């Protein structure tokens, strides 16, 4: 599909209509200029962050592999995905975390029914309140199970055979559908201070005057 040629002195609205530049309101011209001026820098920063994340992830993975292979550091062999690296002076830290999205397949109903059987046993032995933790774990939110509650249910250490059977069924019903990696950076002035996060999310970053503008303002004063 060939690119539409816009005549000189015109621009195109989002709906495809051509409009003379002279017919734009002052506010439209100002808004258009603002966005077009900011977008290239925003796109540049986006690319830099994407490339930085790629570098960080690969560097962390390479470091973990090298520590295990060359130095036999056992603490890295058992990690599921979360790991922290700290400088020798204890003032800087980089954390890589993996967040798993857990979902339930169709066999969740079989697991729920087994837990219901166990809940009836609890009710007979200890009363109505004893089975509430099971019912709350399977309570729906917007027609879906809250998997964090189900995972908490798995963490109970109970020896009843019905619970063990239900737990096995629930383990088979839950699966990791996707994983997302996060990198966080922390800083502190001394080892006795608390860690302060250094956010890279745009909405979490406090505004700071560019060094060039700050120097110019100081000279004017």
What does the pLDDT look like over 58-74, one tens digit per residue?
A: 898 888 888 878 877 66
pLDDT digits (tens, 9 = 90+) for 83-95: 889 999 999 999 9
State how far the alpha carbon of 190 is from the alpha carbons of 36, 55, 92, 139, 182, in Å.
Answer: 44, 28, 10, 46, 25
- Give the DSSP H or E segment for 116: helix 108-126
Distance of alpha carbon 7 from alpha carbon 221, whole angstroms: 48
Q: Range with the lowest mean pLDDT among 1-5, 12-16, 21-25, 82-86? A: 1-5
DSSP state of 194: P
Tokens of 32: 């258009």
Between 161-173 and 147-154, two packed helices, what is the crossing angle to 10 degrees?
Answer: 140
- pLDDT value at residue 127: 65
Task: Choose between 212 and 192: higher pLDDT.
Answer: 192
Lowest-pLDDT choice from 3-7, 65-69, 78-82, 105-109: 78-82
What pLDDT score does 220 carry? 60
Q: Are 74 and 122 in contact (CB under 8 A)?
A: no
């Amino acid at each position: 599909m060939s690119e539409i040629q816009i005549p000189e002195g015109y621009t195109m609205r989002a709906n495809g209509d051509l409009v003379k530049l002279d017919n734009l309101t002052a506010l439209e011209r100002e808004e258009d200029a603002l966005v077009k001026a900011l977008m290239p820098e925003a796109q540049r920063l986006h690319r830099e962050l994407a490339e930085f994340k790629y570098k960080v992830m690969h560097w962390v993975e390479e470091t973990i592999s090298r520590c295990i292979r060359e130095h036999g550091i056992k603490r890295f062999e058992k990690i599921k995905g979360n790991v922290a690296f700290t400088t020798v002076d204890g003032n800087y830290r980089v954390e890589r975390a993996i967040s798993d999205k857990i979902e339930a397949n169709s066999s969740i109903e079989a697991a729920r029914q087994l837990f219901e059987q166990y809940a009836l046993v609890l009710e007979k032995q200890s009363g109505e309140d004893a089975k509430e933790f099971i019912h709350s774990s399977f309570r729906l939110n917007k027609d879906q199970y809250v998997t964090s509650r189900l995972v908490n249910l798995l963490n109970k250490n109970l020896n009843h055979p019905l619970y063990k059977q239900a737990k096995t069924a629930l383990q088979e019903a839950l699966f990791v559908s996707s994983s997302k990696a996060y990198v966080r950076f922390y800083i502190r002035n001394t080892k006795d201070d608390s860690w302060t996060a250094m956010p890279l999310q745009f909405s979490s970053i406090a505004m700071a005057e560019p060094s060039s503008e700050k120097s110019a303002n100081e000279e004017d004063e």
